[in-house]
Structure 1
Amino acid sequence: MPDVPADRLLITVAPTGAETSKQDCPQLPTTLEELVRTGQECEAAGAAMIHVHIRDDEHRPTLDLGRLKETVAALREHTGLVVQLSTGGSVHDPLEDRLRVLDAQPDSCSLTMGTTNFGDDVFSNPWPFVCDLYQLSQERQVVPEFELFDLGQVHALHRLLGRYGLPWGGKVHCDLVMGVPGGMNGTADALVAAVRDLPDAVTSWSATGIGRSTLSVMMAALSKGGHLRVGMEDVLTISRGVPVESNAQLVARAVDAGRLAQRTPMTPQEARSLLGLNGS
């Protein structure tokens, strides 16, 4: 497939996350049926990739391998989306369980480039774990999305690529996660600094604004030619005091913002080409 046109916009949806409870947010998709329906709705709205966290029968975060495999299979059967599994899980998951996520054979996986204070918790990503996960992704032919929470993690990406080379597929895609308490600010200034320092090997990048920073990060990313991640993992209000009704609503808003910037939503097949996935 030829190179993806420069005016295409990759929209990734992160529908669930591991932080919000079903009790507090009943519209959060936590069952497999809800997740598949969400994927279908978001693909129809303009998303090309889905970033997946799963829950157990009590709607609690889990990294159960059987459930992960079932989820990947169901999303592949019922949607055309690129399926990206979170290797972060929740902040309490053991490192060995997070490595086993790749046994579910997703198209892509998240790979966070360092430890981050995450509100009152600590999201642990020690350097040896980062190296192990990256080498495993190369071995399993899973395309990583490098999650960058601060400029130190941007520097760590230089170090990782210098030591172990390019990911499987030859493309380097990263996501700037902004506005997490403990990470970089969700501001245009912070985004510009992070993009300035990205390795030359980076072929595409997106940005995620957490909570109130959602819109400012979205506009800054579009102005710099980046892509977008949106979803109820990252924000639960569509405007001040107004709850999000669905993930598709957030995808539709990203499509509208992209249209203002003269960007057209990328198809899942174009996303596969952008990311260097098999069959692109």
Structure 2
Amino acid sequence: MSTHDTVPADGLLVTVAPTGAETTKADCPALPTTLAELVETAVACRAAGAAMIHVHIRDDEHRPSLDLDRLRETVAALREATDLVVQLSTGGSVHDPLEHRLRVLEAEPDSCSITLGSTNFGDDVFLNPWGFVQELYQGAQERGIVPEFELFDLGQVAALHRLLDRHGLPAGGAVHCDLVMGVPGGMPGTADALVAAVAALPDAVTSWSATGIGRSTLTVALAALAKGGHLRVGMEDVLTLRRGVPVRHNAELVTRAVAMAELAQRTVLDPAQARTLLGARPPVVTSA
């Protein structure tokens, strides 16, 4: 390991989640939904301080998609344009069948999201049966893909204990999770909820981040910084910088996260350091 890759004790991982599956392009034209837009977003967010990108893709009509060829093309394009850790969502949209979500692993990302249980997601249900969670996790282990465990409530924190006890550590040996807060149906986006969730995390957890949805974004980010956690930001989770001021580009949210990190005297990690933190493999080098 080079000195450059060493993770400082005060290090901060900034993850950008630029698109998601809920917001439509018609409602938010600034949302990056084409491959070209996603690559441009990745480059700009890398320059602003992001080290990992959490990716949802869309089809030609800007609808959420888990098309495997598109996923592979997206992973390749992001790797060619940046050194970001590429994390694919295995959640897709709430309407995607489980078998399509499992197939995401075949695109061979650096990382993948794994949600530890089902959640009432607004008026819908984000379905994650226990058997599916185990199959997805074991598939990631076999392929050497590092998971980010998405935790929407304290029951899912308990499920993480159960999963690690039954199936052991992820590839790479690190355990990274993300507290997703403020989703209607999940835990609230409050400092009290964050403190409770962090206190309940398994001892095996080596790093955690937090995501505040909508109006809870700043509350959750500030609480996470105060507790020593990392940050996920992006237009998947919030579309305004403040009341009445829309986000024009995901890089604005990354820039704000970096500014908060500086106030908290945290050192923003680069992608090489993020790979060390997460136990991820070195970036894939493609021949010319």
Structure 2 CA distance for aligned equivalents of residues 129 and 222 of structure 1: 32
Which residue of the partner structure matches residue 206 of structure 2?
203
CA contact (8 A) 2:8 2:267 kept: no
1:277 matched to 2:280? yes
Q: Normalising by the residue count of structure 2, what TM-score does the alignment of the two structures yield?
A: 0.96
Which residue of the partner structure matches residue 268 of structure 1?
271
Of 61, 71, 75, which residue of structure 2 is paired with 1:72?
A: 75
Shift of 1:265: 1.2
Which residue of the partner structure matches residue 86 of structure 1?
89
Of 35, 38, 42, which residue of structure 2 is paired with 1:35?
A: 38
Taking the TM superposition and a 5 Å limit, the aligned residue runs for 1:1-280 are: 1=1, 3-279=6-282
Aligned AA (1:278): R
Structure 2 CA distance for aligned equivalents of residues 212 and 53 of structure 1: 22
Structure 2 CA distance for aligned equivalents of residues 239 and 122 of structure 1: 29
Structure 1 CA distance for aligned equivalents of residues 149 and 107 of structure 2: 19
Structure 2 CA distance for aligned equivalents of residues 131 and 104 of structure 1: 19
Shift of 1:91: 0.2
Q: How many equivalent residue pairs?
A: 280
Shift of 1:241: 1.3
Structure 1 CA distance for aligned equivalents of residues 56 and 235 of structure 2: 11
Listed one character per residue, the Cα deviations across residues 9-43 of structure 1 (whole Å, up to 9, x for unaligned) are 10000000000000000000000000000000000
- Give secondary structure in 2 for the equivalent of 1:228: strand
- Give secondary structure in 2 for the equivalent of 1:162: helix
Structure 1 CA distance for aligned equivalents of residues 146 and 95 of structure 2: 24
Aligned AA (1:89): G
- Misfit runs of 4+, over 2 Å: none
Structure 1 CA distance for aligned equivalents of residues 191 and 56 of structure 2: 28
Aligned AA (1:258): A
Listed one character per residue, the Cα deviations across residues 36-82 of structure 1 (whole Å, up to 9, x for unaligned) are 00000000000000000000000000000000000000000001100
Aligned AA (2:179): L
Listed one character per residue, the Cα deviations across residues 190-233 of structure 1 (whole Å, up to 9, x for unaligned) are 00000000000000000000000000000000000000000000
CA contact (8 A) 2:182 2:212 kept: yes
- Unaligned 5+ segments in structure 1 are none
Shift of 1:7: 1.4
Q: Normalising by the residue count of structure 1, what TM-score does the alignment of the two structures yield?
A: 0.99
Shift of 1:279: 3.0
Structure 1 CA distance for aligned equivalents of residues 278 and 245 of structure 2: 35
Structure 1 CA distance for aligned equivalents of residues 20 and 281 of structure 2: 26
